[in-house]
A and B are shown apart, each in its own frame.
Chain A
Amino acid sequence: MSQLSTIPKPRRNVELLLLVLALSVGIGANMLVGVDQEKAFDSDFWFQSSLLAVAALVFHVVLRIRAKYADPVILPLVVALNGLGLAMIHRLDAPGEDTGNNQLRWTLIAMAVAIAVIWFLKDHRVLRRFTYISLAVSSLLLILPLVPGISAGEILGARVWVRVGPMTFQPGEIAKITLAIFFAGYLSSNRDLILLAGRKIGPLQFPRFKDMGPMITAWLVSIGVLIFQRDLGSSVLFFGLFIVMIYVATSRVSWVVIGVALILGGGFVAAQVFSHVEVRIYGWLNAFSPDVYETGSRQVIEGLFGMANGGLVGTGLGQGRPDLVPFANSDMIIASIGEELGLIGLFAVVLMYVLLFTRGFRAALGTRDAFGKLLACGLSFAIALQCFVVIGGVTRLIPLTGLTTPFLAAGGSSLLANWIIVGLLLLISHTARGPVDTTPLPPGGAAEPAGIDTPTEAVKQA
């Protein structure tokens, strides 16, 4: 691999430059939103803009100190997306509403947590020690919304929220990360075993039944989420995450075939048995019939009307009527951006996601330990899949589900989880791009030392 032969460069100055550009996107958008309401440069604007800028710069400085070889593109991309989301949410606030400032608060909290992750974790391989703890935490997080007392009940048809004091929180967002850690840890330890055993049927080598344990677990979690939490989007997201990680761990297409067959089978049965799945699919196929519009498809249809209204160049920030779309600042924020910034603006936003997950995959390629590869790949693919499910739902490519658009949509849990993912990706990219780290991990870990994975790779490819 070529980057190993070159001298590692930190490229932090490039990051600083890009960061200034990214901040100008978010802050500029926020200013334009204000211009229309004749309060372009009020104290709120300066307060919000400077907070965001300071937080981004602090993050940058922390990277200089703790992870100086981290990918220089990731942080600016995320700051730009987050800033644009803030501006859009601020723009959509009706008089008296304060979702914008709430989102800013959550952004700062999430960035602080991501900074803490980078500062205290130092090396992502430490997480491998927590493989089974992660599994336990994931189970706990997924069960929480169903526990009476802390469950916030059924909100908008899904039971994915818990109530802590005055706040509601979606533990499933965090479970996305802990499940990725569990699978990365489990698969990096057991992949040889899973690889060597198995029966060949035609061109595909199928695994032994007992090695399908993680696959079955994944399937059960996904179907459980679908049945008990009624959350189709998370269910698809979790299962997609698992399949990719198993595929990357084993390089076997057979896992993908089994996985897709399982999810299709499970989904088909669920559609037959549970009305909410069937209702969603029916509503998707017949979205434009007036009855369905009244009872369910209004959100997505209004979103489509808004995007059509925006056309190629958009109405301009503050000039459209994205407020006509239900949940314009959360589930449907992509439609709001499409309406006001047009096809061009939305393409730019989607391209930022493409760059973001591509940098994540790049970190997966570059890092030398199997755990890091799996984790980076899983998390990056999760971002990509989540964007696909959300934007595909909004554009009626697939049925709309309740997932959030990473970094853009209003919602604290989602911001927090995605910033933690960014923290982890930055750490992994730091080891990927930095000089080879030969120091062993602090004692107590079951982590494999760096370098062990490389011979395995060589043997396999030979």
Chain B
Amino acid sequence: MNQAIRSSWVAAIAMFALIFGAISFVQVVGADDLKDNPLNQRAILQNYCNDRGAIIVGGDPVAESVEGTSEVCQFQRTYAQPALYAGITGYFSKNYGATGLEVSMNDQLAGSSDQQFFDRIGQLFLGNQPKGASVELTIDPAVQKLAYDLIPDGQRGSIVVTNPKSGAILAMASKPSYDPNLVATQDPAAETTNINELVKVPGINLNQNVSGPTGGLLAPGSVFKLVDTAAALSSGKYNKDSVLPNPAQMPFPGIQYTLPNYAGGNCYTQDTASFAFALQQSCNTPFASIAIDLGRDAIAEQAAKFGFGEELGDRLKLAYARGSGFPDDLDGPGLAQSAIGQKDVRATPLQIALMTAAIANNGVQMSPSLIKTVRSPDLRVIDEPQPKALRTSTTPEIARQITEWMTSAVSQGIARGAAVPGVQVAGKTGTAELGNGLNNSWFTGFAPANNPEVSVTIVMEGVDITTGAKLTSPNAKKIFEAVLNK
């Protein structure tokens, strides 16, 4: 019996040896990895109570630290127009850390960035409260408000408005939104209750990389045909006068499945189509046949050049999803379906906006940017990011050709709703079927076509055909008018 007791003791000691090993691993060996983990917000929360800098849009703070009455901290983070900007600012919470710009611009907002080194020394000597820098955004408050209001309450959708020449984001709105003040409260019980309520709402953009303009991964539908077009023109096998096959049903050898054109549309009227007609009417089979002809790799290469599955550049200070590249291992029908933006192709609204901006900007994709200036507390500019090219998506000639066809899609084709009197608008619509009778309805385009100042990308999720048509192109028109007529 005593021998068994000794053996049990050895077993217990062995368990504790594992414990000692595990503790050493966590606290010493693996500690640096844990500190660098993106989920680790301790560095941010170290300065939780400080006077953080404001996030400013059009001269007014949308997030700022104000002196509060709480006994936890002297300063309380508050959000003006919370729902309108929640998807951009994110929240700053005592127990749940931060999201959005609150985390990505934390160094500046908290005053701990390299540029603020001498300010910190000054604060040290003068005994002043440390104070962070304020961050001014490229967002245009009027356009942001308009875009947000154009998404009906209860509708899931995103709108991205950019300047294609600079990459500046003028508006980035999505619904459903939430009130970051609920999470920033310093009452721990209320904070927990609120966040538990918020995470239950589907589609809320609490972390920018899972939903909304930067994180919502959606089937792009027909807007992906712009990729096919660019791939076709740059292959040399096609030119602007090419005649494309346009059967009502596209068969595949050996199987039952056929890929159809949209029944009842103009595409049904003719068996062949010019490029212009195919894009204007958004016929499916011409683009499917281009994809089959060029092969998967050519489409994938062009998609990557437009940024599908690629980095969006480091000047967009938000967490974002890169989306899928063009899928691997496609059979014939799979390739055909992917070419019209269905099956497994996924993109975020921001990615589609960047693709369109590249076409608008003569084939050069600018790095998207939200930050206009960073100013120290004495209003000195300490950082002002300049426009930067991200990648070359296509040649200027091809970009101009696609622009011409997109213009005809608005002037004579199915994107007519986006037409603005007196301005040439280029646009492309998309309707990605979700398989339950509902669609993701897209519009992406820019204006004026010959000298683009603004690009608009709209997606409404889970809508029927008529609602989708009502909420995309006509809304784009309102945004074009608002930006251009200022």
Write the residues of chain A forming the contact surface with B, with a CB cutoff of 8 angstroms: 1, 94-95, 244, 247-251, 288, 290, 293-294, 301, 304-312, 321, 323-324, 338, 342-343, 346-347, 350, 353-354, 357-358, 361, 364-365, 370, 373, 377, 380-381, 384-385, 387-388, 391-392, 395-397, 453, 457, 460
With A251-B1, A308-B34, A309-B42 as contacts: A391 and B8 at CB distance below 8 Å: no
CB-based nearest B residue for A313: B27
- B257, CB-defined interface residue at 8 Å: no
- B142, CB-defined interface residue at 8 Å: no
From residue A4, how far is it (CB to closest CB) to chain B in Å?
Answer: 12
Mind listing 6 A-B residue pairs with CB under 8 Å?
A290-B210, A312-B27, A321-B45, A361-B8, A364-B5, A387-B19
With A308-B27, A354-B13 as contacts: A251 and B4 at CB distance below 8 Å: yes
Most buried by A among B9, B11, B28, B188: B9
The 10 closest A-B pairs by CB, nearest first: A308-B34, A395-B22, A384-B12, A308-B31, A388-B15, A397-B22, A343-B27, A361-B9, A248-B4, A251-B4
Contacting A373 at CB < 8 Å: which of B5, B39, B71?
B5
Docked Cα-Cα span, A305 to B5, in Å, equals 38
Contact present for A397 and B18 (CB under 8 Å): yes
Contacting B23 at CB < 8 Å: which of A244, A247, A347, A365?
A347
Contact present for B5 and A248 (CB under 8 Å): yes
Contact present for B16 and A353 (CB under 8 Å): yes
Given A365-B5, A391-B22, 18 extra CB contacts under 8 A:
A95-B71, A248-B1, A248-B8, A251-B1, A288-B39, A305-B35, A307-B26, A309-B42, A321-B46, A324-B45, A338-B27, A354-B16, A361-B8, A380-B12, A392-B15, A392-B18, A397-B22, A457-B2
Docked Cα-Cα span, A293 to B209, in Å, equals 14
Which residues of A are found within 8 Å of B31, using beta-carbon distances? 307-308, 311
From residue A159, how far is it (CB to closest CB) to chain B in Å?
Answer: 20
With A290-B207, A304-B34, A308-B35 as contacts: A244 and B8 at CB distance below 8 Å: yes
- B30, CB-defined interface residue at 8 Å: yes
Within 8 A of A (CB), among B345-363: none
Contact present for A311 and B39 (CB under 8 Å): no
Residue pairs across A and B with CB atoms within 8 Å: the count is: 142
From residue A247, how far is it (CB to closest CB) to chain B in Å?
Answer: 6
CB-based nearest A residue for B192: A326
- B256, CB-defined interface residue at 8 Å: no
Which residues of B are found within 8 Å of A251, using beta-carbon distances? 1, 3-4
Docked Cα-Cα span, A307 to B35, in Å, equals 10
Docked Cα-Cα span, A245 to B263, in Å, equals 76
Contacting B26 at CB < 8 Å: which of A338, A358, A388?
A338
Which residues of A are found within 8 Å of B25, using beta-carbon distances? 395
Contacting A247 at CB < 8 Å: which of B4, B12, B16, B30?
B4
Contact present for A395 and B19 (CB under 8 Å): yes
- B24, CB-defined interface residue at 8 Å: yes
Contacting A342 at CB < 8 Å: which of B2, B27, B210?
B27
With A384-B12, A391-B19 as contacts: A308 and B30 at CB distance below 8 Å: yes
Contacting B22 at CB < 8 Å: which of A305, A392, A460?
A392
From residue A308, how far is it (CB to closest CB) to chain B in Å?
Answer: 4
Contact present for A397 and B19 (CB under 8 Å): yes
Within 8 A of A (CB), among B1-60: 1-9, 11-13, 15-16, 18-20, 22-28, 30-32, 34-35, 37, 39-42, 45-46
Docked Cα-Cα span, A338 to B46, in Å, equals 18
Docked Cα-Cα span, A396 to B18, in Å, equals 11
Docked Cα-Cα span, A262 to B214, in Å, equals 50
Which residues of A are found within 8 Å of B39, using beta-carbon distances? 288, 290, 293, 301, 305
From residue B346, how far is it (CB to closest CB) to chain A in Å?
Answer: 17
Which residues of B are found within 8 Å of A357, using beta-carbon distances? 9, 12
Which residues of B are found within 8 Å of A373, using beta-carbon distances? 1-2, 5
Which residues of A are found within 8 Å of B72, using beta-carbon distances? 95
Docked Cα-Cα span, A457 to B2, in Å, equals 9
Contact present for B26 and A324 (CB under 8 Å): no
Contact present for B2 and A365 (CB under 8 Å): yes
CB-based nearest B residue for A366: B2
Which residues of A are found within 8 Å of B207, using beta-carbon distances? 290, 294
Which residues of B are found within 8 Å of A244, using beta-carbon distances? 8, 11
CB-based nearest A residue for B34: A308
CB-based nearest B residue for A325: B95
Which residues of A are found within 8 Å of B45, using beta-carbon distances? 321, 324
Within 8 A of A (CB), among B99-138: none
Docked Cα-Cα span, A384 to B13, in Å, equals 8
Contact present for A350 and B19 (CB under 8 Å): yes
From residue A75, how far is it (CB to closest CB) to chain B in Å?
Answer: 20
Docked Cα-Cα span, A42 to B8, in Å, equals 47
Docked Cα-Cα span, A393 to B3, in Å, equals 30
CB-based nearest B residue for A357: B12
- B199, CB-defined interface residue at 8 Å: yes
Docked Cα-Cα span, A321 to B41, in Å, equals 11
From residue A186, how far is it (CB to closest CB) to chain B in Å?
Answer: 15
CB-based nearest B residue for A393: B22
Contact present for B23 and A311 (CB under 8 Å): no
Contact present for B23 and A343 (CB under 8 Å): yes
Contact present for A396 and B19 (CB under 8 Å): no
Docked Cα-Cα span, A338 to B23, in Å, equals 8
From residue B372, how far is it (CB to closest CB) to chain A in Å?
Answer: 29
CB-based nearest B residue for A289: B39
Which residues of B are found within 8 Å of A301, using beta-carbon distances? 37, 39
Contact present for A350 and B34 (CB under 8 Å): no
CB-based nearest B residue for A310: B27
Docked Cα-Cα span, A301 to B28, in Å, equals 16
Docked Cα-Cα span, A353 to B162, in Å, equals 62
Docked Cα-Cα span, A392 to B23, in Å, equals 9
From residue B103, how far is it (CB to closest CB) to chain A in Å?
Answer: 13
Which residues of A are found within 8 Å of B15, using beta-carbon distances? 384-385, 388, 392
Contact present for A370 and B1 (CB under 8 Å): yes
Docked Cα-Cα span, A153 to B40, in Å, equals 33
Docked Cα-Cα span, A342 to B31, in Å, equals 12
